[in-house]
Amino acid sequence: MSIDPGWPVGLALALLLAVALAAHRFAGYGLERPVLVAAVRAIAQLGLAAVLIAAVVDSLPWSVALVCVMFAMGVLTTSRRVEAPRAWSWAALAMASGVLPVLAIVLATGTIPATGIAVIPVAGIIVGNAMTAHTLVGRRAFAALREEHSQYEASLSVGLLPRQAIREIVHRRAPEALLPGLDQVKTTGVVTLPGAFIGVMLGGGTPAQAATAQVLVLFGIMAAQTVTVLVAEHLLAGRRLLPDDLATSLVD
């Protein structure tokens, strides 16, 4: 089974976008323009990705280069989303700490072959989910640090170091960034059939192959997201991964 470009797909996309816009308008969320921009970007970016993947998929070095570009875009996106663009290098460190071990394990064990057609999609899924976890932990932690600045100062007044005072506020928020991923793992096959499963099925694989691929991806996502959040929390506590306003206010 395959889904080919054509007027049925175009009609379906137009109707789905119309439903999303109508729901936003009815609810009064005021996000109609961002939805349109996101839709246009998705079409353009996926079209470009299809061209690039077709061009590099037969070359492992070029495939790795494409994955690096995807990673860089993920770092740029999450740094902007948490409003800490100057701390992009620390965001990259947190994400790389989660992504690289996962890719090393699946390649070293021979679970996936060292070919572009295997590396690109698996790496893309892992990078995307690490980015999401980083964004969630950053937004929750930064909001908490702004709202509870008085608690930070009180912690310093009783002798805690800045790192300890920040962790007192941030640590209990960090697990919240992992809950969506855990829910996805727990409900897979019962509530949802995620992308890797559907992709293998659409590509002609057996249900057993699809299930195996999806479990591998889910375990990789859990590992990457947990390590990413762990490292991000420590970088936050060390006052490295912070937006400008918090870098200024969280002083000794």
pLDDT at residue number 51: 86
pLDDT confidence of 7, banded at 50, 70, 90? Answer: confident
Phi, psi of 82 (to 5 degrees): -90, 5
Closest by CA to 134, choosing from 68, 181, 186, 185, is 181
Show the tokens assigned to 128. Answer: 């995307």
Average pLDDT, the chain: 87
- Return the SS3 of 236: helix
Distance, in Å, from the CA atom of 251 to the CA atom of 153, rounded to the nearest integer, reads: 9
pTM greater than 0.85: no
C-alpha to C-alpha distance for 40 and 43, rounded to whole angstroms: 5
d(CA 220, CA 102): 6
Over 70: is that where the pLDDT of 219 sits? yes
